[in-house]
Amino acid sequence: MSTLDLAETSLRDVNAALQSLNGTTNQTAWEVLNPRGAHALAVGLDAPVEVRVKGSTGYYCAGMNAEATIHVEGSAGPGVAENMMSGTVVIEGDASQYAGATGHGGLLVVKGNASSRCGISMKGIDIVVHGNIGHMAAFMAQKGNLVVLGDTGEALGDSIYEARLFVRGSVKSLGADCIEKEMRPEHLELLAGLLERAGADATPEEFRRYGSARQLYHFHVDNAGAY
């Protein structure tokens, strides 16, 4: 295990050390001490390494992550794992706004709750939230899967494209063009895999599926009120 301590090392040096790792490194296990809410921590990683952040982080932790597995042993500020490409990010606590925003791939797991706009503009990422999520989750979500074990806030999936949303608890309200959809065997199978990878104690049959009604895919006067 290699250790980086933000009490002694600058953010730039910590990130540079983690970013310099590539697929051939033998040092695959890292821990980062004293994050104390630092912004932009462990961003732009590009190797199959494992990083444990021993505390809570500020904005954009694990931003644009590729391949790395990043555990935050605390809570994460806004935009955690934004635009993630691949790899896994696990937040032991809660996540603030825009968790997983625009993510293209990989898996984001939030063990606590996630705030508003979780999965906004998601483009292929999988997000599993063990607790509840706030309003406007999956706004304009394009691709990927959002799984919520708890309840959701208002306007879930507003203006959604082709992302799939699975919710076990209650949905306060659905956003424009988002509807409940039939849970078919392939969805149950997909969900089972996601729950397992996220270490979530739930069965697929407990969930409902939501997605796009595809009514706003073409501009039309009769939809004007919905835009």
Partner 1 sequence: MKDTPKTLPRYSATFTPEVNAEIRRAAATGIYDIRGGGAKRRVPHFDDLLFLGASMSRYPLEGYRETCSTSVTLGARFAKTPVELAIPVTIAGMSFGALSGQAKEALGRGATLAGTSTTTGDGGMTEEERGHSAKLVYQYLPSRYGMNPRDLRRADAIEIVVGQGAKPGGGGMLLGQKISERVAGMRDLPQGIDQRSACRHPDWTGPDDLEIKILELREITGWQIPIYVKVGAARPYYDTALAAKAGADVVVIDGMQGGTAATQDVFIEHVGLPTLAAIRPAVEALEDLGLRREVQLVVSGGIRSGADVAKAIALGADAVSIGTAALVALGDNDPAWEAEYQALGTTAGAYDDWHEGRDPAGITTQDPDLAARLDPVAAARRLYNYLSVLTLETQTIARACGKSHVRNLEPEDLCALTVEAAAMARVPLAGTSWVPGQVF
Which residues of the shown chain bind partner 1 in the complex (CB under 8 A)? 11-12, 15-16, 19, 39-40, 43-44, 46, 58-60, 63-64, 66, 78-79, 82-83, 85, 97-98, 101-102, 104, 117, 120-121, 123-124, 139-140, 142-143, 159, 161-162, 217-222, 224
**CB 45, CB 68: distance < 8 Å:** yes
Residue 136 vs 195, nearer CB to partner 1: 136
Shortest Cβ 44–partner 1 spacing (Å): 3
Q: How far is the CB of 221 from partner 1 (least distance, A)?
A: 3
The single-letter DSSP state of residue 188 is: H
| Cα→Cα distances 26→32, 47, 48, 183, 195, Å | 17, 11, 11, 44, 30
Q: Which of 104, 208 has the CB closer to partner 1?
A: 104
Provide, rounded to whole angstroms, the least separation between the CB of residue 12 and partner 1. Answer: 7
Distance CA 129, CA 199 (A): 11
Tokens representing residue 66 in the block: 């590729």
**Residue listed under structure tokens 């797991």:** 109
Beta strands in 6-162 (DSSP E): 29-33, 50-53, 69-72, 88-91, 107-110, 123-129, 143-148
Of the pair 11, 188, the CB lying nearest partner 1 is at 11
Shortest reach from residue 224's CB to partner 1, in Å: 8
In whole angstroms, the minimum distance from the beta carbon of 80 to partner 1 comes to 10
CA angle 115, 119, 124 (to 5 degrees): 160
By beta-carbon proximity to partner 1, the closer residue of 35 and 124 is 124
CA distances from 226 to 162, 170, 222 (A): 18, 23, 9
In terms of CB distance, is 208 or 223 closer to partner 1?
Answer: 223
Nearer to partner 1, 56 or 200 (CB): 56
Q: How far is the CB of 219 from partner 1 (least distance, A)?
A: 5
